[in-house]
């Protein structure tokens, strides 16, 4: 066993020396994960803020001004245009100058004073359906709240039901606490697989596989030796990504770092093993890195639950998502990061991480051949 460990460490040292001389791989290993976390962390956002609002106030009353002030006070809308006539509405929406036009018809205040319905109109640019739906929800909530306030003032009644809501885990309902932990999973799966996709292919392209084949080193020792340096790099990258999430995006870390380290190690072993498997099969650095990126990044981005709710997907895609390791690791990251949950909640994802590590290593060892054909 001591001899095998010595061989393994020798392979690991050799791989570390090769990596140190490879500037491209070093940049990919240390700079790309941090850069991608920052880039995607700012780009990917489901928050809808600062919605440009145009107001066509045809009533010019105190009541109509109060309604407009309610939109401004909500903090989601910004009045950029005050229109003089209905003919100005269409050109604004056509060129996307505003997202929503609030139309307050003549007689609005008079109808409110008379206790009758006082309709207002919200015209929304539906070219972006997601933003349009959220803007409509905000507008409806503001108008409903304003209407209830008017009724209560008129009747001098106290509401019988007063809702008090409290949001757990992401109190501000902002995107970074949801996005950043998931991004770490997706980016590290891609980077880990791409890094090790170079290892075996590099031996074949540089002609050093003959030297490796002449040694008594077992293929499992070769795979583990090549994997060890990249596992250390991956753990450093994950730690750096967590710090970036906490410092740059103000994402709270509430969980057990030891549990996260174990889960992360299993996930990285699986991803690194997958990269070595691709490298051993294809034997071309360029082709292996391309295949590794496609095989990891696209499924992780689209089928992991990071961008789209898995429960809203068609049954076939929901089934395919169960084969995407990032799906389980995203649940682990969010659970430990935001909720401080442990094994009683994450045991299923933990088993998935162990299975992924075993599968990745198994495929890599099985695909690697020392024999020269």
Judge whether 340 and 254 are in contact, CB under 8 Å.
yes
pLDDT at 325 over 90: yes
Q: What percent of the chain clears pLDDT 70, i.e. is strictly above it?
A: 92
Q: What is the pLDDT of residue 357?
A: 95
Q: Which domain holds residue 37?
A: 17-45+174-367
Burial 269-290 (b: 16+ CB within 10 A, else e): bbbbbbbbbbbbbbbbbeebbe
Chosen domain end from 122, 155, 188: 155
Chosen domain end from 125, 155, 185: 155
Q: What is the pLDDT of residue 207?
A: 66
Q: What is the pLDDT of residue 2?
A: 41
Q: What is the mean pLDDT of the chain?
A: 85
Report the pLDDT averaged over residues 10-32. Answer: 82
Sign of CA dihedral 5, 8, 12, 14: positive
Higher-confidence residue of 222 and 105: namely: 105
Report the pLDDT averaged over residues 83-105. Answer: 89
User: Rounded to the nearest 5°, which phi and psi values hold at 100?
Assistant: -145, 140
CB atoms within 10 A of CB 216: 7
Q: What is the pLDDT of residue 166?
A: 75
Q: What is the pLDDT of residue 262?
A: 95
Same domain, 241 and 126: no
SS (H, E, C) 218-261: CHHHHHHHHHHHHHHHHHHHHHHHHHHHHHCCCCCCCCCHHHHH
* Structural tokens at position 262: 């174990």
In a domain, 4, yes or no: no
Same domain, 194 and 281: yes
Close Cβ partners of 165 (under 8 Å, ≥ 6 residues apart): none
pLDDT of 27-38, one tens digit each?
888 888 989 999
Same domain, 66 and 151: yes
Q: What percent of the chain clears pLDDT 90, i.e. is strictly above it?
A: 32
pLDDT of 329-361, one tens digit each?
999 999 998 898 989 999 999 999 999 999 999
Q: What is the pLDDT of residue 177?
A: 86
Q: What is the pLDDT of residue 159?
A: 54
Chosen domain end from 120, 155, 190: 155
pLDDT of 107-126, one tens digit each?
888 888 887 888 889 999 88
Position 48 confidence tier, pLDDT thresholds 50, 70, 90: confident
pLDDT at 1 over 60: no
Same domain, 279 and 334: yes
């Amino acid at each position: 066993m001591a001899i095998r460990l010595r061989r393994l460490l020798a392979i690991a040292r050799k791989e570390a020396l090769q990596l140190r001389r490879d500037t491209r791989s070093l940049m990919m290993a240390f700079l790309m994960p941090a850069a991608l976390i920052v880039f995607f962390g700012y780009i990917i956002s489901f928050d809808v803020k600062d919605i440009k609002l145009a107001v066509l106030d045809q009533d010019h009353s105190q009541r109509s001004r109060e309604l407009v002030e309610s939109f401004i006070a909500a903090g989601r809308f910004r009045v950029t245009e005050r229109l003089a006539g209905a003919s100005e509405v269409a050109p604004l929406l056509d060129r996307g100058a505003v997202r929503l036009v609030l139309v307050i018809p003549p007689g609005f205040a008079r109808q409110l004073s008379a206790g009758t319905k006082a309709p207002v109109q919200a015209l929304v640019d539906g070219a972006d359906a997601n933003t349009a739906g959220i803007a409509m929800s905000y507008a409806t909530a503001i108008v409903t709240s304003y209407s209830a306030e008017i009724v209560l003032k008129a009747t001098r009644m106290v509401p019988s039901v007063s809702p008090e809501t409290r949001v757990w885990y992401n109190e501000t309902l902002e995107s970074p606490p949801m996005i950043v932990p998931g991004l770490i999973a997706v980016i590290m799966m891609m980077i880990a697989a791409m890094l090790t996709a170079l290892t075996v292919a590099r031996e074949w392209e540089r002609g050093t596989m003959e030297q490796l084949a002449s040694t008594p080193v077992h293929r499992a020792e070769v795979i583990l030796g090549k994997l060890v340096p990249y596992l250390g790099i991956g753990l450093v990258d994950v730690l750096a990504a967590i710090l970036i999430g906490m410092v740059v995006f103000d994402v709270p870390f509430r969980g057990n770092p030891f549990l996260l380290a174990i889960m992360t190690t299993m996930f990285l072993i699986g991803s690194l093993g997958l990269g070595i498997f691709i490298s051993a099969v294809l034997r071309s650095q360029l082709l292996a890195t391309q295949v590794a990126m496609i095989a990891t990044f696209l499924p992780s981005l689209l089928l992991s639950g990071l961008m789209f709710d898995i429960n809203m997907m068609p049954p076939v895609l929901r089934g395919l998502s169960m084969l995407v390791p990032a799906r389980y690791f995203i649940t682990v990251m969010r659970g430990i990061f935001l909720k401080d949950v442990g094994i009683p909640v994450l045991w299923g994802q933990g088993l998935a991480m162990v299975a992924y590590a075993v599968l990745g290593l198994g495929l890599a060892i099985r695909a690697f051949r020392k024999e020269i054909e």
